[in-house]
A = this chain, B = another copy of it.
Amino acid sequence: MTVVLKKPHKSARKPKGDGHLRRGEILAAAEKIFIAEGYAGATIRKIAYAVGVSSTALYMHFRDKDQILLEISNDAIERLLDLNIQIAGQPIDPLSRVRLMLEAYMRFALDNPNTYQLVFCSTGDHVKSDKIGETMALGDRCFEKFSEPVHEIAAQGRLRSGSAVQAAEVLWSGCHGLVSLLITKPSRGWSEPEQLMRVMLDGLLHGLVTD
């Protein structure tokens, strides 16, 4: 879990108009540490040390710690949204689109566990930065994109139980439950993740949607 701290050298002061370049360096360093050590492990001081700058310097570019990590997370969520948009544009039946989106969602979670936890597994009430609003909005847009094919299915009268909104919420939360447990309890003896994903999708989709 703990990664070696690199770059103990002091980073050269930026020329006068180039302070904004620091911002990118901070984000890059923070992302590495955040991915490797998670929210609690990604300390302000540790990030600053990796950049080669005092911890105070970070506050010239970000209001607080959460703004840094949420900015990183937002980038990731945007990639997820792009995936959803791309799938939404495919000329296939809505059920297949739903399945593809949920698969992409779960793979995204397993590929970005710390981002996923920060965004989808925390209450977010400890966050002072208003960046959280942006994150939530992105998450909502993902859910909206995902809801579209579910509504199409509902319009075809193929929903076994519940409304379209309820079905979308259940599909989403079911997949969320699987990946969140796989992420937070990795030591538990799980079956193969790929197979669990398949069983979850087969189960939910067959259970909620008629052929």
Binding site for B on A (CB under 8 A): 1, 38, 40, 117, 120-126, 136, 140, 160-163, 165-167, 169-170, 172-178, 180-181, 183-185, 188, 190-191, 195-196, 198-200, 202-208
For chain A, what secondary structure do more than half of its interface residues adopt (helix, strand, loop), or is it mixed? helix
Q: Specify which of B40, B136, B174 is in contact with A174 (CB 8 Å cutoff).
A: B174
Q: Is the CB of A196 within 8 A of B166?
A: yes
Tell me whether B206 and A160 are in contact (CB under 8 A). Answer: yes
A-B CB proximity, top 3 nearest: A177-B177, A207-B207, A203-B207
Contact A180–B176 (Cβ < 8 Å): yes
Q: Are A173 and B177 in contact (CB under 8 A)?
A: yes
A160–B123 Cα gap in the complex (Å)? Answer: 36
CA distance A166 to B195 in the complex (A): 8
Q: Contact at A200–B180, with CB atoms within 8 Å?
A: no
Asked whether A184 lies within 8 Å of B123 as measured between CB atoms, the reply is yes
* A146 to B: closest C-beta gap in Å: 14
Judge whether B160 and A202 touch: CB under 8 Å: yes
Contact A40 B126, CB 8 Å, known A177-B175, A190-B169: yes
